[in-house]
Amino acid sequence: MSYALVVAETRRNIFEERNMDSIGLCSLMGKDAFLLIPFGDYNVNEQYLNGIIKVKVEESMFLNPVVMVNILEKIMASHGKPYLMVFTNSASGTELASYAAGYFNVPIITDVSAYDKERGTFSKSYYSDKIFGEFKPSGEGTFIITVRSGSFKENLCDRNANPSLEIVEDVETNTTRTFMEFVEEEKSGIDITKAEFLLSIGRGTGNNEEVAEYEELAKLLKAVISGSRPVIDKLWLPKTHQVGTSGKTVKPKVYLAMGISGAFQHIAGMKDSDCIIAVNKDPEAPIFQYAHYGIIGDMHKVRDKLKEMLKEG
């Protein structure tokens, strides 16, 4: 029970960078890390691992929770139960992890972003990092963690040895669920990651009718328009224009954020911009902690004033 089993997230033969956070957690906990990955040519940073277990199944099968528990059962039969199983906190990682927790009837802690080694506690955030909850798995058995991207990469610890390599074959893949295809996000032709000036709008925009007014302002500013997630979820702007952890990471010369509160998922995608200007009616809005310049006020009034000035030339 001393090893940690890290279930890799892969997509189209790419080893997702966020796996390094799962492995980093194992380093921090001082656990031997064994990486479970589909058979294929993946670019894995082997120096942080004690072992690699390659499973002879298609990637799509590896993403199937019913197949995954078959794989995990096979590993446990030959290696014994792991101390913990680590998954990424992505859509596919949480699906696999929660199914496995139910199947094996073991505790699960999701979206973990910190670990206190002395107390053996895991932390996760609520309400955009306003509150943190601490959890400790009870009992002596295996438990499952899903890891928030970006949380533990800095804890990676070199193992100074070649990891062992094992191939797992003959996994039962006959399930009632069939993977169809990966669906690519639609391309809008505009790449917000290349823009030098982004005008980013948030929920404070109010409604869809106002968006056209901000698009006009963006044009006058020679900026590209982008938005926070609610703006995309409400279909005010296409998905390709979303800034943040589940959108794009941007680094323009100027990032003008209007009606955006500054949730960490948004900040993570724009904090490295050269100059951040925030407009928000709430002086306590977290975005002001990251802004180089701030205007406390009604974004629509600021917009109209800017348009007036730019039109006057």
Pick the piece of the chain touching ligand FAD (CB under 6 A) from 92-100, 156-164, 179-187, 275-283.
275-283
Structure tokens at 51: 């072992």
185 DSSP 8-state letter? P
Any contact of residue 88 with ligand FAD (CB under 6 A)?
no
Among 155, 249, 265, 277, binds ligand FAD (CB under 6 A): 265
Pick the piece of the chain touching ligand FAD (CB under 6 A) from 60-68, 162-170, 184-192, 296-304.
296-304
Among 24, 51, 244, 294, binds ligand FAD (CB under 6 A): 244
DSSP lists the bridge partners of residue 10 as 15
Any contact of residue 233 with ligand FAD (CB under 6 A)?
no
Pick the piece of the chain touching ligand FAD (CB under 6 A) from 39-47, 62-70, 100-108, 244-252.
244-252
The DSSP result for 88-148, as a single string, is: ESSHHHHHHHHHHHHHHT--EEEEE-EEETTTTEEEEEETTTTEEEEE---SSS-EEEEE-
SS3 241: helix
Q: How many whole angstroms separate alpha carbon 190 and alpha carbon 197?
A: 13
Give me the 164-193 binding string for ligand FAD, x by CB under 6 A, dash otherwise. Answer: ------------------------------
Among 38, 204, 252, 294, binds ligand FAD (CB under 6 A): 204
Among 103, 281, 307, 310, binds ligand FAD (CB under 6 A): 281
Any contact of residue 266 with ligand FAD (CB under 6 A)?
yes
189 to each of 38, 78, 85, 150, how far by Cα in Å? Answer: 34, 50, 41, 29
Type and span of the H or E element at 53:
strand 51-55
Q: Is the dihedral of CA 157, 159, 163, 168 positive or negative?
A: negative
Could you tell me the smallest distance in angstroms from the CB atom of residue 198 to ligand FAD?
13
Q: Which residue is nearest to ligand FAD (CB)?
A: 244
Nearer to ligand FAD, 203 or 219 (CB): 203
Could you tell me the smallest distance in angstroms from the CB atom of residue 247 to ligand FAD?
4
Nearer to ligand FAD, 51 or 294 (CB): 294
Among 20, 260, 276, 291, binds ligand FAD (CB under 6 A): 260
167 to each of 35, 52, 57, 235, 286, how far by Cα in Å? Answer: 12, 9, 11, 45, 49
Rg (CA), the chain: 23
Among 16, 27, 299, 303, binds ligand FAD (CB under 6 A): 299
Structure tokens at 152: 């533990």
Contacts with ligand FAD by CB under 6 A lie at 128, 202-204, 228-230, 242-247, 259-261, 263, 265-266, 269, 279-282, 285, 298-300
